Amino acid sequence: MTGEFPETLPPARILIVDDDPVMVRVLARILAPMGEILFATDGESALRMVRERSPDAVLLDVEMPGMSGFEVCRAIKADPSNADLPILFVSGHTDIETEAKGLEVGAVDYIMKPPSPPIVRARMRTQLILRERTRQLLRLASIDGLTGLANRRSFDETLDQEWRRSRRNRTPLSLALIDIDFFKRYNDHYGHQAGDDCLKTVAATLAHAAERPGEIVARYGGEEFAVVLPLCDVATARALAEKMRKRVADLALPHAGSLIGDHVTISCGVATLTGEPIEAMPDEASLITAADQALYAAKEAGRDRVEVNCVDK
């Protein structure tokens, strides 16, 4: 990401909301070069389109039958997933009060009718660029700089979301904690640069092994990794952890400092929440504790193995 706006943007999906078909056609012609154009002529249709088609930006008329543009904007912004969705009002009202109200309810810009094509395109382009930059910054803030995996902050947020979903829907949730065996001895023997290379290689191997939608592999800290496994029962979680253990072993990365062999290995601890109300797991921290206990058991049992802690009723 550079310090200047990019010269080009990927094609955008833009929703135009106006009860005047002529104005819809005018705006559609203006914005057609920027990507796919969607349209709605009333507030309810606009809200449905936002839910179903996930536009990148919305051009919204202020006055419409039924729901006003202000009400539509409030409804869109009431959904946290639309927090960064740019909404630009287009209106024939020129008074400061109407413009200010549009900005207060969540719009990012206010364009006067009749619309000027260069102004509409320039302002839309600016908002799309700002949204893309925000997304890039959020991605950077959620990624571990060394391994490219999700970082601890991203892990905490993901586990919290999946924990709530698991308890709400009574679906299983598993967590795997993974530790590189004798990693301090690896660093002492080969040096920290080689240690970083080892971490990156193991991280990539773990990430490639997690293939199901929703599975998140994160760097938990130091040489420890965490894998969040939504909708994953204990047998499936154990199988994935074993696949990860074997793939790391199959790398045959030399480890002269290991006390259990001559190559890099990992130990895995798995914990599973069944989805039923369980007093022993009142929050996501208790799932982490259960996985950590399983990881400790794997180390005590000789390392290079998977142990499971399935807390059930």
Decide if 60 contacts 17 (C-beta within 8 A). yes
Q: What is the C-alpha separation between 219 and 213, in angstroms, rounded?
A: 19
In 3D, which of 40, 90, 38 has the Cα closest to residue 61? 90
Angstrom distance (rounded) from CA 218 to CA 224: 9
- 213 CB contacts (<8 Å, ≥6 apart)? none
Peptide bond into 114 cis (omega under 30): yes
Backbone phi and psi for residue 156, each to the nearest 5 degrees, phi listed first: -60, -45
d(CA 311, CA 102): 51
Q: Which element (helix H / strand E) includes 100?
A: helix 96-104
End-to-end C-alpha distance for the chain, whole angstroms: 50
* 223 catalytic residue (yes or no): yes
Q: Which helix (H) or strand (E) is 88 found in, with range?
A: strand 87-91
User: Which residue has 């039958």 as its token pair?
Assistant: 65
User: Residue 170 burial by CB count (10 A; 0-12/13-18/19+): exposed, middle or buried?
Assistant: exposed
Catalytic entry in 132, 223, 284, 307: 223
Query: Strand, helix or coil at 50?
Result: helix
Amino acid 204 reads: A
Burial class of residue 3 (count of CB atoms within 10 Å of its CB; 0-12, 13-18, 19+) = exposed
Query: Torsions phi, psi of 57, nearest 5?
Result: -160, 155
- Active-site residue list: 223
